[in-house]
Structure 1
């Protein structure tokens, strides 16, 4: 299924059609696969319970394979298994996988049923290959310390649930370059790192997912991406669960929940971070934020990047969680604490926090922001900081716990007739001396009332 990228100019608009592997597949034949979901309501095993097997099994060997068609039609079975310190090169070949997985946790943690499984300090070089999987199977899976897969100039296609394109876990590493990926089903991300954390590096690639919860990036480890054109029809472009995702020079579009979802799947964790450099993030849903934080202490940074949302919301922080179905948010045990740093970027939209959550928003290096901050429900805390080169145009009355501005004359804050309220008891606001001042545009900056600080504004 081709997808369209819109290019906007001052006087005209144009579209570019991008091809991905679904344009050359029979989506009608895979329709039954792509409506399958999965039962996660059972205890996952903490050890490898199934032997990883397949008809092309390389154990403690070096091998080159070219111009071959490698295939299997069997449940819980890989096509290619590379293990025990093996080194295998596969080029100019096709890998085809049919067959279901009986245990999706084993698929996630150990690569059960993956088309190509690399493990136990083995290395694979895959070039100019086509990997097609059906019924729910990862395309390329890497597991374990000193296990590496390098794949380039290749096509990855999958149908069925939990059919990730590139997939790494157990401290394994996968590197992809010049790839075209498509997945049609539920929770089948393009480039994914699972637990224990996997390392994923991907460059110069196209990614298209159609299923619910199928992000472009899924991280429980480290993901680095550069020059990616991606469209997640029914998912955010990224799920971060205790991970770091670093994205450069990419154009990404999200179709469900949010642009990027940063959360902790268990108790609240800290340390997750997502960064965008020279990127554009587009978010279609009417109620979705560009960045959503829940049950987490985490951060994000944008450098020379854009966020376009239909909702007009840039950031949401909430006392909430992603469900196992990955299609809606539910209540959690802890609020979110989100820190966002903006550099050399111009953004329009609001910051919204719920149920005791907090958002820290820093503008630097000639950045501009048009928007406001407000509580969606209950208490909320907002901190905004501007350097002297950056500016803020208010679009509504705003109450801040902390406000700092390197330009103490406030000439870089344009009130547009709205008021800015601050907590006069906060040490960060001492420079304001509890005063009320008129701002550029007719509004005032003044101390907030107790009721305003409690989130009832």
Structure 2
């Protein structure tokens, strides 16, 4: 072999070694975020092209199938990873395409991937629900940039917005006053499309407002309304007061997003929550805000979409603390909220039968305080599926029932206290999970009415039984069940269920004179 050939072989070997070295310690995984917390991430796996490739494939992306978004092509799989302590996940959201650097099962680095989306004719079309509104808006910011700072606007017209931002327009406003009277003639358009709202942004527009007061006195006159994909409203140091019926303080629908901080929101009419995401694609993130809802059916928060609230304080004097509808999601962090409706938290699924079963609501509460003055349960649901996770959250209520379940409830406590029984309607399902020192003081399905009921406990958590309870499944890290204080009651379990194989169909004496026994 000649000298030149030997040199070429040596170079090839070096390149192969360099290519192999990164794979020894880490690997790259592409996907779209499905769930993310401080310590864990779940992604939908698939293929992602580079940003430059995305530009070349813009025409193909416009014709993408249902499981394609931008330049991400799902492969039908998913993966779970732990996050290293160095990763800050607070700015990462579900639906974001990412490239993960993974060592074993731990993510060491995350790169968010942004793909240019091709313009389509439909993205430039006017929302048909806004054509009439654009003709009657007092100030129309349509396909242009406007700074309206220091100016005041007032309209008395029915079905008219004080300010409407549309067609990718942009509004800047500071130190202004906006007022609105005049009723809507179409309640559905007001609730879902912002007809008659004081300020609305739509059609991929954006608005940034601060140090401004908004007041409305008409029916269906919401305060701030965001609707349409890529529409974003940023609101800071704002006072909102609505007095008419069906007039929320904040509302977002159909992909519209509101980021709010330092607000004071007061509503007086019926069906007028302070904060509302009234359609499943609406998103509201609100921080350091005071809310006061006085009317009937006017909770602090109503969500069919997504609402994240941090350091929000206030109450609803004639309604539940929060109402979730269908697949709505509410995340509470360091909030102090009170209500006085039929229950503290109300979940409603509008469908029937299978369609209701497919609706899945989510409530997460961390380091919060929830108070209801009603005699009803803390949580009530009439159908559908609801997942509730509470961590270090105090619940004050005078009733003896923590949750009344018609549908499927998954209730998880993390360093939490649950006081009150879980009452199950015929055909319902409940899954209670007690973790990290959680205390549950109550009974589960004491009437043996549920289709399925289960309790899962770690060794550090405690169940103080207040009545006989019926379980299909019991999982307990303490195999002696010393963490179940029976108070003389019996916990019945299904000996034929696989989760109960460890009990071997036997009767186990429990602290307090009661027992764990197979049901006949």
User: Do the structures match in fold with TM over 0.5?
Assistant: yes
Report the alpha carbon displacement of residue 47 of structure 1 after superposing the two structures with TM.
6.0
Residue 82 of structure 2 is matched in structure 1 by none
Report the Cα distance in structure 2 between the residues aligned to 1:376 and 1:257, rounded to whole angstroms: 22
Moved more, 102-111 or 47-56: 47-56
**Cα offset, 1:376, TM superposition:** 6.2
TM-score relative to the length of structure 1: 0.82
Partner of 1:48: 129
Deviation track 1:74-94 (CA, whole Å, cap 9, x = no partner) reads 100010111111111111111
CA drift of 1:172 comes to 0.6
Task: Give 1:445's aligned residue.
Answer: 516
Match of 1:65 in 2: 148
Aligned to 1:360: 431
Task: State the Cα distance separating 1:448 from its structure 2 match.
Answer: 1.6
Aligned 1:225-374 pairs, distance under 5 A = 225-241=309-325, 242-266=327-351, 267-268=355-356, 269-286=358-375, 288-318=376-406, 336-374=407-445
Q: 2:227 aligns with which of 127, 143, 148?
A: 143
Runs of 4+ with deviation above 3 angstroms: 375-381
Cα distance change on mapping 1:337 and 1:47 into 2, 3 Å: farther
SS at match of 1:428: helix
The answer to whether the Cα contact below 8 Å between 1:281 and 1:290 also exists between their aligned partners in 2 is no
Show the counterpart of 2:162. 79
On the 8 A contact 1:67/1:93 being kept in 2, the answer is: yes
For the 8 Å contact 1:354–1:377, the answer to whether it is kept is no
Q: Return the offset for 1:107.
A: 0.5
Indicate conservation of the 8 Å contact 1:230/1:237, yes or no: no
Q: Deviations over 1:281-300 (max 9, x none)?
A: 112111x2111222102211
Query: 1:195: how far off?
Result: 2.3
Q: Does 2:199 align with 1:116?
A: yes
Q: Secondary structure at the residue paired with 1:48?
A: helix
Tell me how far apart the structure 2 counterparts of residues 379 and 387 of structure 1 sit (CA, whole Å).
23
Is 1:354–1:375's contact at 8 Å kept on the other side of the alignment? no
The aligned residue for residue 126 of structure 1 is: 209
8 Å contact kept, 1:66–1:90: yes
1:215 to 283, 299, 315: 299
In 2, the alpha carbon distance for the partners of 1:83 and 1:49 equals 9
Tell me the CA shift for residue 356 of structure 1.
Answer: 1.1
Identify unmatched segments of 5+ residues in structure 1: 1-45, 319-335, 450-457
1:263 Cα offset (Å):
2.2
* Greater helix content: 2
- Work out which structure has the larger RCO, using CA pairs closer than 8 Å and 6 or more positions apart in sequence: 1
* Partner in structure 2 of residue 6 of structure 1: none
- Displacement of 1:313 after TM fit? 1.4
Check 1:104–1:377 CA distance in 2 against 1; reply closer, same or farther (3 A cut): farther
Distance apart, 1:259 and its partner CA: 1.4
RMSD: 1.6
* Contact 2:344–2:374 (CA under 8 A) maintained in structure 1: no
* Partner-residue secondary structure (3-state), 1:341: strand
In 1, Cα distance between the equivalents of 2:342 and 2:128? 33
What does residue range 71-110 of structure 1 map to in structure 2 within 5 Å? 71-110=154-193
**Aligned-partner Cα distance in 1 for 2:328–2:255:** 13
SS of residue paired to 2:188: helix
1:67 Cα deviation (Å)? 2.3
Query: Is the Cα contact below 8 Å between 2:446 and 2:469 reproduced in 1?
Result: no
SS of the aligned residue for 2:454 comes to strand
Aligned residues: 386
The 1:377/1:165 distance shift into structure 2, 3 A limit, reads farther
Could you tell which deviates more after superposition, 289-298 or 128-137?
A: 289-298
Q: 1:108 to 1:376 in 2, by over 3 A?
A: farther
- TM-score normalized by the length of structure 2: 0.72
How has the CA–CA distance of structure 1 residues 283 and 196 changed in structure 2, closer, same or farther, with 3 Å as cutoff?
closer
Mapped to 1, the partners of 2:396 and 2:474 lie a distance apart of 25
The residue that corresponds to 2:254 in the other structure is 170
Q: What is the alpha-carbon distance in structure 1 between the residues aligned to residue 344 and residue 267 of structure 2?
A: 19
Q: Contact 2:426–2:450 at 8 Å: present in 1 too?
A: yes
Distance apart, 1:402 and its partner CA: 1.2
Q: Tell which structure's C-alpha radius of gyration is larger.
A: 2
State the alpha-carbon separation in 1 of the partners of residues 509 and 231 from structure 2.
62
More strand by share: 1
